[in-house]
Amino acid sequence: MIYLDHGSTSPLRPEALEAMLEWMGPQVGDPTRIHSPGRLANYALENSRQQVAHLVGVRPRQVIFTSGATEAINTACWSCVKKEPDSGIITSPIEHSSVRGASKRASFVIEPEVDSKARLDIASLEKALSRNKISLVNIQLANHEVGTIQPVSELANLCHKFGAIVHSDGASALGAMDVNFESLGIDMLSISSHKIGGPSGVGALVIKKGLSLEPLLLGGQQERFKRAGMPNLAGIVGFGKVAELLTQNNGLTGQMDHFQKLYKQSLSHLLSIQGVRHYGPEPPNAVSHIISLDVKGLESESILLGLDQLGFALHAGSACSSLEIQPSSVLQAMKTETQNALRISFGWSNTEKEIQAFNQAFSKVVTDLQSLSNR
């Protein structure tokens, strides 16, 4: 099976697995204890924190480990709601379902408009900020379905003028672009391990220095009282290892260049097929590991199943939907002609040879389906 659904989750890198194995066997220790096993565990935890911090350009104490980006997002939203319960949250309709769901904890939610390329409308955002009491604005860094990169720094400056905190979902951007927290000018950033070849079940919330955070999970003193519970040490070590791979020896630059090659190789071929329509902008206005498209007159589910039979795994419908293909809120907000486009998403394990095989398979499936529909 050639896997082209890295936008959902990416296979575990062998280097991450090797690093994790040490903490998946008999060695055990609570990082909050001062005995030898505890000190060893604490060293592994803090070393991983430093590796992740380096990847996003912050100090280690700004990184709070979580069970994933979903928990990080919920923590960001909950903290602002807890501090200002009568305030609202601004969340655009192109945000991931976890962001839109977590935002509903607020007294009210305002959705600014987006254009046909899934770019946030600045005038609509400013109008919402000027007319309402807003505690938090969620601004996605890169869209999970069509790849659009938002001008986060510019938008964050606008939000700060009205006293709002800015949180960015960086799960689909990490590993596909240079994510520097300080340069973005935001207050909180959610990231995930499994999107970049690390293990599932671990992520992080990165917070601005000096920002007071209300924890979502209460209990122990872990993560400097910002997130209670025994840390997933093996997962955190794996996350740290992948972060290290991306920050050493031009790992991130090399990966971005590789994605760009795969993107050009695939999109140029796909657009040559009759009826294929591409959604969203192209790089540099979008990340280069996501392609969203449909074929006019054909159901995306039929194409998806045809490709699956030939050994290719990709995605259709809205992100994080059930097995049943659901209409995409992102495509609806963009006012596209389709609601169920296919998403091809590359990752660290894909090769140019695999993309060449995919291009050929896609042409065959589409041609066969078009022939059937014309009978």
Residues 181 and 186: their CA atoms lie apart, in Å, by: 7
| Closest C-alpha among 199, 174, 195 to residue 18 | 199
Question: What mean pLDDT comes out for the span 70-89?
Answer: 97
Q: Residue 318: what pLDDT?
A: 57
% pLDDT > 70, the chain:
97
Confidence of residue 43 (pLDDT cuts 50, 70, 90): very high
Please tell me the pTM assigned to this model.
0.95
Q: Residue 244: what pLDDT?
A: 98
Question: What mean pLDDT comes out for the span 347-359?
Answer: 98
Q: Residue 85: what pLDDT?
A: 97
Question: What mean pLDDT comes out for the span 47-54?
Answer: 98
Residues 120 and 153: their CA atoms lie apart, in Å, by: 13
Question: What mean pLDDT comes out for the span 303-309?
Answer: 97
Confidence of residue 374 (pLDDT cuts 50, 70, 90): confident
Residue 216 has pLDDT above 80, yes or no: yes
- The class level of CATH for 2-9+251-373 reads alpha beta
Neighbours of 8 (CB within 10 A): 16
Confidence of residue 51 (pLDDT cuts 50, 70, 90): very high
Cβ-Cβ contacts under 8 Å for 117 (sequence gap 6 or more): 146, 148, 280, 281, 285, 334
Beta carbons of 188 and 80 less than 8 angstroms apart = no
Geometric angle at alpha carbon 47, from 46 and 49, rounded to 5°: 60
Residues 235 and 232: their CA atoms lie apart, in Å, by: 5
The secondary structure element, H or E, covering residue 37 is: helix 36-56
Residue 337 has pLDDT above 90, yes or no: no
Beta carbons of 89 and 119 less than 8 angstroms apart = no
Question: What mean pLDDT comes out for the span 113-129?
Answer: 97
% pLDDT > 90, the chain:
90
- Residue-range domain boundaries for the chain: 2-9+251-373, 14-247
Question: What mean pLDDT comes out for the span 10-31?
Answer: 92
Domains 2-9+251-373 and 14-247 share a fold: no
Q: Residue 68: what pLDDT?
A: 97
Residue 264 has pLDDT above 70, yes or no: yes
Where in the sequence numbering do the catalytic residues fall? 320
Residue 135 has pLDDT above 80, yes or no: yes
Neighbours of 22 (CB within 10 A): 13
In CATH, the number for domain 14-247 is 3.40.640.10
Token couple for 221: 């003193």
DSSP string, 144-161: TTT-BBP-HHHHHHHHHH
Q: Residue 339: what pLDDT?
A: 74
